[in-house]
Amino acid sequence: MLFLALKQNSRKNEESKMKKVPVMLSLGSNLGEKTLNITRAIELLSKGKIIENIVISSYYESEPLGYSNQPNFINAIVIGETTLSAENLLKECKKIEQNLGRQFRPRWHEREIDIDIILYSDKIIHTEELQIPHPELMKRKFVLIPANEIAGNWKVPPTSNTIAELLENCPDKTRVKICVGE
């Protein structure tokens, strides 16, 4: 047990020496106090120094995509910098989801909180657990609209298209509107 703790501390020290890389995360909630769920997740990302220099989009209300018989979502995008590897960033995001009471349901169904890694610098990552850029990015206005608000010029690999260009060509027809007073 002590060895495991030392190994984890060693990994954290190595990551703290790593170069900061820009990241983009999508947050969504359609159960409970939706706006508060997203705000709490952002606070945990920041306080835990998982993401630094955070910039937060406005909050948006969006119709559900995939399975429509559920409440509308509140969505936001955060960009910032991390020293974590993409895999460890994913683990931290999953811990935050658990901490905030996420229950696992079938794909496309309700979420107390959902945190997805959309972009990790200009990296392309394809593992069993992680796909970056997020494979549905180009088809989701609820991601592209808030992302365009704060990072419209971010180029998405493997294309050289920007977030703004992807939004222009997005086939998603669901309604996404800014939440006034958020």
11 an active-site residue? no
Distances from the Cα of 178 to the Cα of 6, 29, 120, 175, angstroms: 46, 15, 25, 10
Residue 170: phi and psi, rounded to 5, are: -70, 130
Is 105 considered catalytic here?
no
Q: Tell me which of 111, 122, 140, 175 is the catalytic residue.
A: 111
Residue 155 near residue 126, CB atoms below 8 Å: no
**Other CB atoms closer than 10 Å to residue 131's CB: what's the count?**
15
Distance CA 108, CA 68 (A): 9
Catalytic site residue from 105, 107, 114, 122:
114
Residue 175 annotated among the catalytic residues of the structure:
no
Catalytic choice (11, 40, 102, 105): 102
Catalytic residue among 11, 40, 105, 116: 116
Residue 132 and residue 125 in contact, taking contact as beta carbons nearer than 8 Å: yes
| Burial class of residue 143 (count of CB atoms within 10 Å of its CB; 0-12, 13-18, 19+) | buried
Question: Which residues are designated catalytic?
Answer: 102, 111, 114, 116
